[in-house]
């Protein structure tokens, strides 16, 4: 079994992850706004579930960045 070593993320990959985090934040804000405005309990619950899911996605993306941080070049390329 071969051990795979992490490589530094490319600038394009970092940009993609950054955009994904921004998108998750935007979705969380939109669902929170909808949950705050709706009178329908079922809609509010669905919004809250989506908020939890998007928070989880954002946590995964941040963990990915943290795992690769040690492999990042110390000088900008």
Could you read off the pLDDT of 3-56 as tens digits, one per residue?
Answer: 567 778 888 988 999 999 999 999 999 999 999 999 999 999 999 999 999 999
Q: Is residue 75 part of a domain?
A: no
**Which long-range contacts (C-beta less than 8 Å, at least 24 apart) are formed by 18-23?**
20/57, 20/61, 21/58, 21/61, 21/62
pLDDT per residue as tens digits for the range 53-77: 999 999 999 998 888 877 666 655 5
Query: How many structural domains compose the chain?
Result: 1
Q: Is residue 39 part of a domain?
A: yes
Residue partners of 4: CB distance under 8 A and separation at least 6:
none
Show the domain range for 42.
14-70
Q: Is residue 77 part of a domain?
A: no
pTM over 0.85: no
- What is the predicted pLDDT for the residue at 34? 97
Q: Is residue 22 part of a domain?
A: yes
């Amino acid at each position: 079994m071969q051990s795979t070593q992490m490589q530094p993320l490319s600038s394009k990959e970092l940009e993609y992850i950054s955009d994904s985090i921004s998108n998750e934040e935007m979705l969380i804000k939109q669902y929170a706004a909808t949950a705050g405005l709706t009178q329908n309990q079922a809609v509010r619950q669905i919004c809250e579930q989506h908020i939890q899911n998007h928070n989880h996605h954002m946590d995964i993306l941040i963990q990915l960045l943290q795992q690769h941080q040690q492999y990042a070049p110390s000088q900008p390329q």
